[in-house]
Structure 1
Amino acid sequence: MFLNEFYSQKDSSFRFTQQQASRFAKTVANDYNKIHDVDNKRFCVPGDLLFAVSLVKFGLSETMKIDFTGMVKNDTDLAFSPLVENKTEIVNTDQKSFMKLEIGGPSSHDEKIITKIIKEYVQFSGNNFPDIMVPLMRSENLMFNPARALVMYKSMQLNMTRVNVNSITLKFDGAVIDVQGKRATVTFKFDFYEGNDKIGTGQKEMLLSGLIPYEESVMAGVIADYQAAKTKYLAAAS
């Protein structure tokens, strides 16, 4: 499977190098968040990569609920805890939890479909900023502080009516922002289709902390820096 180049597996454990995780963020998810740059002191593995590895391990289930509980650094030995009552966690050797997963219903291990859903989902997920998130923040006259941006992947869930399908595509179905003082939860909704048939729904939640009043010029600078990082990476890769 294409995902093999983005992590290494040894017996029941797996790990990510900075290069693998950063390349996944940029080349698969189209995500140029600086926290996924190999030279960033706050570097962390994309949550979407943890989700992708979970799909490879357990397949696509009719229901999948994920809660992100920690930030994975590079070269950390990880493993899935034993599956008990359809629940498991990604933990390190000290049993620190980084992601909780609950699955239910029938599952599919069709490699073609799993590859497609990984690419469809993470490309959608990586495009949340700036196209979707910025208009939402502007509508509330609030934004994250660029000096110490605290934007965290909180959770996601999938609910499929069937998983034995021949094709699958993802379509965005709107986003909402719920502000609680200096914090906000942004919920991105999406649907899955096989041809013209809707076969599932899902949502992703991001947590924004340390909110400050929205400033158009400041946000324009953040977007410009983001686009510049993307242009630089693509130019170097070509």
Structure 2
Amino acid sequence: MFSERYHSIQDGHVLISAIQASRFAKEVAGDFNPIHNPDARRFCVPGDLLFALLVDRFGLSRKMTFHFRSLLGENVPLAFHEDDDGVVRVRDGNNKVYVEMERSGELTHDAKVIDNLTRSYVAASGKNFPHTLKPLLESEGVMFNPDRPMIMYQSMSLDLDTLDAPYPELEMHKAELKPEGKRGNVSLDYRVVSAGDPVGLVSKKLVVSGLREYDPQAMEAVVEEFYRLKNRSWN
């Protein structure tokens, strides 16, 4: 599984270094959010990496829901455990929960199936900004703090018709932003398509914090910095 290079195991616990998390964000997701930079003051591990590790360990089910409860910093020893209520939780040594995973239906541990779906999902997720979020923010006349952008996962769910679809791809179906004061609630719905046929749905909910009036020049500077970092990473 490709996620092996983005974490380590120590004393039976999963550890994710800032460098590993940043590499995953850039190399797999194409996500250049500054919050995933190793030297970021408020650094956090990408939620997509935790999703990848969970599916790798527990398999892919036709119906899955992930709730992201807390931001995860670097090198926190994590335990992945299925509790008596059937919910898989990712916790640290202080019993703080970072992710909860619920699942039902047919299950597969086929590495190729899991790898294909995970890569497709993470690649689509990495396009949240600027491809999807910038037009949404602009249409609502709001934006995040350009000096401290905070776009956080709240939840993600997938509902697959089959686990046998070769090379699934995610296509954007619907995107919506609802500003509520300084907070923006974002809903993103994708169709999962394989060989041109729909084979499932994926829904994501994000929170954009620190909303303020939209400033075209400030947003353009954020976008330019995004592509500068992206171009630098591949040169």
Q: Normalising by structure 2, report the TM-score.
A: 0.95
CA RMSD, aligned part only? 1.4
Q: Report the equivalent of 1:219.
A: 219
Ranges in structure 1 where 5+ consecutive residues have no aligned partner:
none
Q: Is the 8 A contact 1:86 1:104 kept in 2?
A: no
One-letter amino acid matched to 2:198 = K
Q: Is the 8 A contact 2:14 2:78 kept in 1?
A: yes
One-letter amino acid matched to 1:157 = S
Distance 1:68 1:50 in 2: 9
Give the deviation of 1:44 after TM superposition.
Answer: 1.1
Distance 2:135 2:193 in 1: 26
Cα deviation code 1:19-63 (max 9, x no counterpart):
111111000000111111112121111000000001101111111
Cα deviation code 1:109-139 (max 9, x no counterpart):
1111111111111111111100110110111
Q: Report the equivalent of 2:144.
A: 144
Distance 1:48 1:103 in 2: 17
- Is 1:58 matched with 2:30? no
Cα deviation code 1:134-170 (max 9, x no counterpart):
1101111111111332321111100112223344222
Distance 1:194 1:127 in 2: 19
Give the deviation of 1:201 after TM superposition.
Answer: 0.3
Q: Secondary structure at the match of 2:147?
A: helix
Q: Secondary structure at the match of 1:19?
A: helix
Distance 1:210 1:40 in 2: 18
- How many corresponding residue pairs? 235
Distance 1:130 1:164 in 2: 32
CA distance 1:20–1:219, shift in 2 (3 Å): same
One-letter amino acid matched to 1:188 = L
Q: Report the equivalent of 2:210.
A: 210
Q: Is the 8 A contact 2:183 2:211 kept in 1?
A: yes
Deviates more, 1:146-155 or 1:41-50: 146-155
Q: Is the 8 A contact 1:108 1:164 kept in 2?
A: no
Ranges in structure 2 where 5+ consecutive residues have no aligned partner:
none
Q: Report the equivalent of 2:163.
A: 163
Distance 2:175 2:220 in 1: 21
Q: Report the equivalent of 2:38.
A: 38
Deviates more, 1:175-184 or 1:210-219: 175-184
